[in-house]
Each structure stands twice: as structure tokens, then as C-alpha cells.
């Protein structure tokens, strides 16, 4: 069994952050989104992983993620020259995949369920495709599956106007080598892409074994700011343990589940978890509220922040109003102004400088 993780695309819904970086490397709880998928796949026993990259951000993905040794895996990088669809990504990965069955995992998705149950069903029932499904409130925004009472997939429709169900395709799939023939027999959709839903439908039409697996936990597509903040909250709630590796002075107060990285200094501040703070940060005269993730090498002085994600090297100084529901890019700087609104909400790209006036 092999795996491919899709880490291309332009990330238009997370701009301006993704003008300068890959959306799959935006951190959730101070870990790149992409790495959660890698760890989940390795935990299921799959260590031969191909990562589909784009010309624009592939170098950054390779530099940050490496050869896979830090995850106990072997990673092969596969270039997709243009974002021509999920099935096209499988097509360019075919030399890597060979005749092996494989997991396809969208690199900007976070899924709670363990992959081992998904794999067990695929292997025990000798399937050609297994789709992971989740009930959603707005099925018109997703690829949607119609299934029978046994979980057999009858039909797949991409973003239907009249959905046959509320079961959306989660960004995790299992395929036998039969998918390659299906992809070679489909045509680009109206938007010019080779759709994986069309390839799966081809398998269904040819009476191949295509079934579904209902997701019981949460699923998050982190393509938008609010989705990413929600993912950050869920991960901090479910995965964060108390860990203090930096220094905290006597006037400071730390409560709840909080991680503070090596070399970080907390001075005259209140940290109320769940909160994760990276390495070599300077936090002084601040309130860091619940569901905040502060990356390495950041400086927060005279600032109040909660339910926000601050990326590496950012600097927030003398902002006395509460910063909430914000995503602040790498090396971004926020400076004070004379007039003070009651609350501030930001989505700030890398290397930005904001002066409040």
C-alpha cells in the first residue's frame, strides 16, 4: 500500500497568506496542516508516500517537510505542472504508484477518524474504491454521494444543485490500480479538470466494487480563515497537553492546558489555555486567551489576543485592544495608533506591516 498527498493548488481562499506560501504549510496548533495527514498515514502503517507539489510552492513544501525521515516515512515529491484536477494528480503520480493500491489524501484536510478502520474495510472487502463520507449542512458546496443501505456507492455528483443526499466526499480516498484505467477513460469537466468523481463514477458504471465509509468524527477543510481557526480550536481542545519548556516570571499567570516552547520568555503576562506558544518567543505585558497558537520567534508586547493564529516571526506591539478571530502571517508587524476600537479582527499576509490609524 502506498499513499499520495495533494499539496499543490493556489490556495486562493487563504490569500493574502498563500500569495507567499503553500496553504498546506499554514500551521494549525503550530504544526503545518500537511504534517497531520502524513502522521495519520504513517500511523496506519503506510510509509511510502508521494506528495504532489506545484511549481509555485513545491520548493517550500520540500524544504519544510524533507525526505520523510522525521515522520518515519519515505517521501517522493511529484510535480503537477498545473492544477488540472484531482484525477490528473493521480495520473501524474502513476509512475510512483505502479500497481499498488493507495490512499489519496488532500493535504489541506484534517480528519479525526483513524485511517486503520478505513483501510481494514478496503482490504477485507477487496474494493476498487472506498470513499470517506461525512454528513454536511450544505451539500451543494461539495462532491456528494448517493449510497444504498449497505454503503455501496450508486452515484457521485460534483456540487449538485439538487443533492441526492447530504453525504459529502471527504478528502480521503482508497483506490485499487483499477482507478488508472478509469482516469484514462474520462474527459475534462466543464471547468477543464479531470475530476476524481468522474473516475469513480466510471468504476461504478463498469460494476467495480465501490463502497463508502461514514466518518463518525470531525472533518475540516482548512481552505478559509474561519475554517482554519476552527481547526486550530479543535486540535488544541483534543491534542494539547500541559508542557512548560520556556521561562515564566513570578508576576505571570498560566492556567489550563498550555504549551510554552524552549527559549520563550513570559513576562508579566496571563496565559489562559488551551494555548500553544512556540520557541524563542517574547511575551510581555500580554493576555493570551484560549484557542490561540503563537508560532516560533514571535514578539507580543502590550497586546491582548485570543482565538487566533500568529505565524512565525510576527511582531505585535502596544495594541491595547483585544485581537480576536485573526490569522497573522509570518513576520507581519502590527503597530499602535491613537484611536482605539473595541476589538480587532485580522487576516494578514506574510511580511505585512499594519499601522492602526
Q: Looking at the structure, do residues 94 and 222 belong to the same domain, yes or no?
A: yes
pLDDT digit string (tens) for 207-221? 999 999 998 878 877
CATH number of residue 343's parent domain: 2.160.10.10
Looking at 235, 265, 297, which one is the last position of a domain?
A: 235
pLDDT digit string (tens) for 27-57? 999 999 999 999 999 999 999 999 999 998 8
pLDDT at position 356: 58
Q: Looking at the structure, do residues 155 and 130 belong to the same domain, yes or no?
A: yes
- The pTM assigned to this predicted structure is 0.87
Q: Looking at the structure, do residues 93 and 226 belong to the same domain, yes or no?
A: yes
Q: Looking at the structure, do residues 102 and 166 belong to the same domain, yes or no?
A: yes
Q: What angle is formed at CA 307 by the lines to CA 305 and CA 311, rounded to 5 degrees?
A: 75
Q: Looking at the structure, do residues 196 and 303 belong to the same domain, yes or no?
A: no
CATH number of residue 32's parent domain: 3.90.550.10
Are 66 and 75 spatial neighbours (Cβ–Cβ below 8 Å)?
Answer: yes
CA distances from 205 to 199, 208, 295 (A): 10, 8, 49
User: Which pLDDT band holds residue 183 (cuts at 50, 70, 90)?
Assistant: very high
Give 114 or 123, the one with higher predicted confidence.
123
In three-state secondary structure terms, 218 is: coil
For 350, the domain range is 242-355
Q: Looking at the structure, do residues 58 and 151 belong to the same domain, yes or no?
A: yes
Looking at 206, 235, 264, which one is the last position of a domain?
A: 235
Q: Looking at the structure, do residues 199 and 293 belong to the same domain, yes or no?
A: no
Identify any residues that bridge with 210 across adjacent strands, giving them in sequence order. 129
- Mean pLDDT, all residues of the chain: 89
Q: Looking at the structure, do residues 201 and 316 belong to the same domain, yes or no?
A: no
> What's the domain count of the chain?
2
| Closest among 113, 243, 126, 222 to 175, alpha carbons compared | 126
Q: Looking at the structure, do residues 323 and 178 belong to the same domain, yes or no?
A: no
* CB atoms near residue 343 (< 10 Å): 10
pLDDT digit string (tens) for 291-319? 999 999 999 999 999 999 999 999 999 98
Amino acid at each position: 500500500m502506498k499513499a499520495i498527498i495533494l499539496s499543490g493548488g493556489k490556495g486562493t481562499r487563504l490569500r493574502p497568506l498563500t500569495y507567499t506560501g503553500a496553504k498546506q504549510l499554514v500551521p494549525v496548533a503550530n504544526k503545518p496542516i500537511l504534517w497531520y495527514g502524513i502522521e495519520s498515514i504513517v500511523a496506519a502503517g503506510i510509509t511510502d508516500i508521494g506528495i504532489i507539489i506545484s511549481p509555485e510552492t513545491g520548493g517550500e513544501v520540500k524544504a519544510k517537510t524533507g525526505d520523510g525521515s522525521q515522520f518515519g516515512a519515505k517521501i517522493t515529491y511529484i510535480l503537477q505542472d498545473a492544477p488540472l484536477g484531482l484525477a490528473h494528480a493521480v495520473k501524474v503520480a502513476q509512475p510512483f504508484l505502479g500497481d499498488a493500491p493507495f490512499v489519496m489524501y488532500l493535504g489541506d484536510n484534517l480528519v479525526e477518524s483513524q485511517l486503520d478502520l478505513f483501510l481494514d474495510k478496503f482490504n477485507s472487502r477487496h474494493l476498487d474504491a472506498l470513499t470517506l463520507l461525512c454528513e454536511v449542512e450544505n451539500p451543494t458546496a461539495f462532491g456528494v454521494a448517493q449510497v444504498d443501505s449497505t454503503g455501496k456507492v450508486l452515484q457521485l455528483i460534483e456540487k449538485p444543485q439538487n443533492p441526492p443526499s447530504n453525504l459529502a466526499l471527504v478528502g480521503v480516498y482508497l483506490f485499487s490500480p483499477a482507478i488508472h484505467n478509469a482516469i484514462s477513460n474520462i474527459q475534462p469537466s466543464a471547468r477543464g479538470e479531470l475530476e476524481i468523481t468522474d473516475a469513480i463514477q466510471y468504476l461504478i458504471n463498469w460494476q467495480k466494487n465501490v463502497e463508502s465509509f461514514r466518518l463518525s468524527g470531525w472533518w475540516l477543510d482548512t481552505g478559509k480563515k474561519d475554517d482554519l481557526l476552527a481547526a486550530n480550536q479543535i486540535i488544541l481542545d483534543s491534542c494539547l497537553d500541559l508542557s512548560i519548556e520556556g521561562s515564566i516570571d513570578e508576576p505571570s499567570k498560566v492556567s489550563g492546558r498550555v504549551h510554552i516552547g524552549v527559549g520563550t520568555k513570559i513576562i508579566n503576562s496571563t496565559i489562559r489555555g488551551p494555548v500553544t506558544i512556540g520557541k524563542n518567543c517574547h511575551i510581555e505585558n500580554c493576555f493570551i486567551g484560549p484557542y490561540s497558537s503563537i508560532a516560533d520567534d514571535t514578539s507580543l508586547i502590550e497586546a491582548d489576543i485570543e482565538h487566533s493564529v500568529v505565524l512565525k516571526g510576527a511582531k505585535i506591539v502596544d495594541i491595547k485592544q483585544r485581537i480576536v478571530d485573526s490569522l497573522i502571517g509570518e513576520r507581519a508587524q502590527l503597530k499602535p495608533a491613537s484611536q482605539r476600537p473595541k476589538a480587532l479582527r485580522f487576516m494578514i499576509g506574510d511580511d505585512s506591516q499594519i499601522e492602526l490609524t
